[in-house]
Amino acid sequence: MPTVLGVDDWAIHKGLTYGTILVDLERHRPVDLLPDRSSASLAAWLRAHPGVAVIARDRAGAYAEGARDGAPDAVQVADRWHLVDNLADALEVVLRAKGACLKAAAAALIAQATAKEAEHPRSPPDEVYQDKRRHPHPERWRERQAAAAEAGVARRRANYERARALHANGACVAQIARTVGISRMTVYRYLREGPPQRKRHSVHGRQRVLEPWEPYLLRRWEEGCRMATRLWREIQAQGFAHSLSNVQRFVAQVRREGPPPAGRPRTALTKPEGPPPRHVAALVLRRPERRTEAQRAYLTQLRTEDAAIATAVDLAEAFLVMVRRWEGARLLAWLERAEASDVDELKRFAGRLREDRDAVQAGLTLRHSNGQTEGQVTRLKLVKRLGYGRANLDLLRKRVLRAA
């Protein structure tokens, strides 16, 4: 029987029913699948399998209660990734109420960039490249893309309405799929979810792979090197490990729009409307040595805009230091500091941590985590898909445990 147990949930039917996976973190293998994610099921399993000394889990209250009831002497370890994710949610709430400050900080960066551009003006980019006009109608292309996306959404919504109407009239899933011309899985999704919405992809919270090399590429552009392949080979020699297409897209944008003001890459930080709160929260969570010069300048400017934001950023960075250095002994002092601050959302975050203080402190002290358990969940999904999603819990348990 395992002495270090990982506990996490997994979707039996996504959005409807969930089960629990139990993983032996020392032997790197799953030991059981439970039919739900209730505290009673976990407690019953722990009573039937005594000897568990450490339980690594997420922040779910049901698992905390089940671990206390089934193995009261076991040390519970709150997963560090979930702690940071909860902190990110709290920061986003704080920043969402400070939209004017986010916009003002972006405006200050734009003003600084404009002043540098005025000191060192650039000549406008050539209008012709290799005897071709440079992207003559980008607005029309964007309009066509938007119109095509809206047409796709309208078509899916029409299928959704037909599927719901047929289901209301008593048609089975297979009949609905044949009549509407969609797959059965799509029918199931339409029956359990709302109308289809247009997906809008965003990279605001994620650093672009080319971002650290953009200042170098812009400098080489100003020196007259305009060939994407040559630029790619140069940064590849410096450690860039991604494909040529990233550089080609960047070069195409510079040809189309010209270099950014003051040699700065265009980012959400220098847009007039300012970056979204989730993007700024991601910047706060990023390691200081991995922030770009523009990101450091933006956070410095943002601290001066509002005292509550400065306090929230300081508290978040102090918490992240504890997470990265496993300094759980400092948790109590951090909780007292957060609860004494004037940032209500971080006060509530600290209160939730205090309710689960022992597990949180263990998570900031011990090396156990739920990362391996998450990997076993991914493997379980693969096994589930190999059965076309039709395997029941007993068959999944046998296949997962036998493969392990």
pLDDT at 122: 53
CA distances from 116 to 106, 223, 299 (A): 16, 19, 20
CA 126 from centre of chain: 39
In this predicted structure, the answer to whether residue 339 has a pLDDT above a threshold of 80 is yes
DSSP 136: S
Tell me how long the chain is. 404
List beta partners, residue 8.
21
Alpha-carbon distance 63 to 41, whole Å? 9
In this predicted structure, the answer to whether residue 131 has a pLDDT above a threshold of 70 is no
- Pick 149 or 260 by higher pLDDT: 149
Alpha-carbon radius of gyration of the chain: 27
Angle at which helices 80-96 and 307-325 pack, to 10 degrees?
A: 170
Q: Kindly state the greatest CA–CA separation across the chain.
A: 78
pLDDT at 202: 45
> Above pLDDT 90, what percent of the chain?
62
Alpha-carbon distance 152 to 178, whole Å? 20
pLDDT band at 204 (very low <50, low <70, confident <90, very high): very low
Weakest-pLDDT range from 33-42, 110-119, 136-145, 279-288: 136-145
pLDDT at 196: 84
One-character DSSP codes across 332-383: HHHHHHHHTSS-HHHHHHHHHHHHTHHHHHHHTTSS--SHHHHHHHHHHHHH
Q: What is the pLDDT of residues 230-251, one digit of tens each?
A: 999 999 999 898 889 889 988 9
pLDDT band at 199 (very low <50, low <70, confident <90, very high): low
**Domain locations in the chain as residue ranges:** 4-79+369-403, 85-121+205-321, 123-201
Of the candidate CATH numbers 1.20.210.10, 3.30.420.10, 3.30.2350.10, 3.40.50.1820, the domain formed by 4-79+369-403 belongs to 3.30.420.10
- Pick 14 or 373 by higher pLDDT: 373
In this predicted structure, the answer to whether residue 48 has a pLDDT above a threshold of 90 is yes
pTM over 0.85: no
Average of per-residue pLDDT across 155-179: 93
Q: What is the pLDDT of residues 52-64, one digit of tens each?
A: 999 999 988 999 9
